[in-house]
Structure 1
Amino acid sequence: MADHDEGKDDESEAVVEQRIYGCDLIEEASIHLELPQVCAATAQTLFHRFYARRSFARHDVRHVAMGVLFLAAKVEESPRRVRDVLNVFNALFQHRDDGSHALEPLDLNSERYLRMKQLVVGVEAEVLTELGFLLYTEHPHKFILNYVRLICPDPSLEQQLAQRAWNVINDSARTDLCLRFAPEAICCAAISMAARALRLPLPTQPPWWEVFEVAKADVDRVSGQMADLYARPKAQYRDLKTKRPSPAAGPGQG
């Protein structure tokens, strides 16, 4: 049975922070593992889907981040060895939580390595079971180039507009927008924010978002949540069971 968060419709500040922290971990780990961007996006979507049914207080975001990225790499046909995934996350836990530059390597023969490996495999199985093995994900990224090509009034700015919108979409994966809005709406909001940053007027006759069958209200809501995200300080890990910051060593310690 799913252990739903209380007050899911109005997430606490602590839950929002842990949502962002977990997605930041996924993004950073995917870069170090040299995974395609789609792997990070799929992992973050699986992360949000899992926590739509499970509690942040009962399921440590560090464990889930490791498990969903390991799974997503397989889903997107870019699998990585579990030892490589664990080594990357081990370094990230030390660097992010301790700020250390003298990182302690993960001993592959240690009990801690075995515990971390069991965590990853266990989370992978739990996510698969919770989501009913339904892992297909359609990301907003796939729409950007076509949308920009159709509406950008200045061909010389198409690439710049598309890149800025792409960056916004990548950042949107740190929120649960993918659970509440269609990918087309997220894409349109990203283009809208990118165009404002570039001071680039987009067509209004007819309104450009209507060409893609997206409601202006959805564009505004997504843009508003993204603005809130950008105003936040960097997320820090907290153990929601104890309400305290975690030791820097990360999962499997002790």
Structure 2
Amino acid sequence: MSAQNTVAAQPAPISKWILSAQALVNSPSRQDGMSLEEEREQLRKATGQIYRAGQESKIPKESIVTAMIFLIRFYGLQSFRKYNRFIIAQACLFLAAKVEETPTKLYKVITACHSVRNAGQAGERIDINSEEYTKEKNAVLEAERIILYTINYELDSTPINPTLIFKNILSKLIETRIIDENNKSFMNNGVNIMWASLRTNLPLQFEPKKNCLCLCFSYHYIFKAHAKR
């Protein structure tokens, strides 16, 4: 992978990282002949890999979220057919851990990702002294450079981290007594819905705060409707 030919014709964002409907429909992966269903599945698997590997390597959730956002943005501008999602996911997790000041050794990221990918299979763990590991490490480091180039070195995660935004919205809902602070079901399920949204390209469609507000409103409406039954 070479940074020189990384970015071809990138779709112009409407506002920073919010892409137009046309840009999303004509994504690089779609232009490479991938179906919409396959693209969604690739994104779901890649973000899921980040989540599970991040947990296994004990990376904080804020860093895991940042890694998922980096990956979603990367594939908003790049093709799954051109860049291996397994390598890109590892690079996003490694990069996000550094950005969030929770740095993790690269070998821990690589071994965790392999464990998640090959769970229950022979050769589940990769030998860090093997030639395979050396090739993987070099590929991940090269991918990290390509990710940085693609996302234009925009690494400030504070305004985009939906977990922080969601927590802030929840605290305000509790303060105004719209929801009960003892309503663990609402809080837990709301957080689960937020995490599920990070397995899609929703962060490329709407601003993070708008996504979180809509998720809160939708779940609150559904929760109240069920409570009346």
Q: Tell me the TM-score normalized by structure 1.
A: 0.70
SS at match of 1:187: helix
Asked if 2 retains the 8 angstrom alpha-carbon contact of 1:162 and 1:191, the reply is no
Aligned residue in 2 for 1:213: none
Aligned residue in 1 for 2:178: 153
Aligned residue in 2 for 1:143: 165
Q: Runs of 4 or more off by more than 6 Å in structure 1?
A: none
Report the Cα distance in structure 2 between the residues aligned to 1:33 and 1:5, rounded to whole angstroms: 33
Q: 1:191 to 1:157 in 2, by over 3 A?
A: farther
Q: Shift of the alpha carbon at 1:163? A: 2.3
Aligned residue in 1 for 2:207: 182
SS at match of 1:56: coil
1:9 aligned partner, one-letter code: L
Is 2:15 the partner of 1:9?
Answer: no
Is 2:144 the partner of 1:120?
Answer: no
Aligned residue in 2 for 1:108: 128
Q: 1:8 to 1:58 in 2, by over 3 A?
A: farther
Give the paired residue count.
197
Asked if 2 retains the 8 angstrom alpha-carbon contact of 1:148 and 1:162, the reply is no
Q: Shift of the alpha carbon at 1:134? A: 1.0
Over aligned residues, Cα RMSD in angstroms? 2.3
Q: 1:51 to 1:3 in 2, by over 3 A?
A: farther
Aligned residue in 1 for 2:49: 25
Q: 1:181 to 1:150 in 2, by over 3 A?
A: farther
Unaligned runs of 5+ in 1: 202-254
Bigger mean CA offset, 136-145 vs 44-53: 136-145
Aligned residue in 2 for 1:86: 110
Q: Tell me the TM-score normalized by structure 2.
A: 0.77
Asked if 1 retains the 8 angstrom alpha-carbon contact of 2:173 and 2:179, the reply is no
Percent identity of paired positions between Structure 1 and Structure 2:
25
Asked if 2 retains the 8 angstrom alpha-carbon contact of 1:67 and 1:123, the reply is yes
Unaligned runs of 5+ in 2: 12-21, 31-35
Q: Shift of the alpha carbon at 1:174? A: 0.8
Asked if 1 retains the 8 angstrom alpha-carbon contact of 2:57 and 2:109, the reply is yes
Report the Cα distance in structure 2 between the residues aligned to 1:4 and 1:103, rounded to whole angstroms: 40
Q: Shift of the alpha carbon at 1:9? A: 2.8
Q: Shift of the alpha carbon at 1:66? A: 0.5
Report the Cα distance in structure 2 between the residues aligned to 1:178 and 1:108, rounded to whole angstroms: 35
Report the Cα distance in structure 2 between the residues aligned to 1:42 and 1:28, rounded to whole angstroms: 14
Asked if 2 retains the 8 angstrom alpha-carbon contact of 1:149 and 1:158, the reply is no
Aligned residue in 2 for 1:134: 154
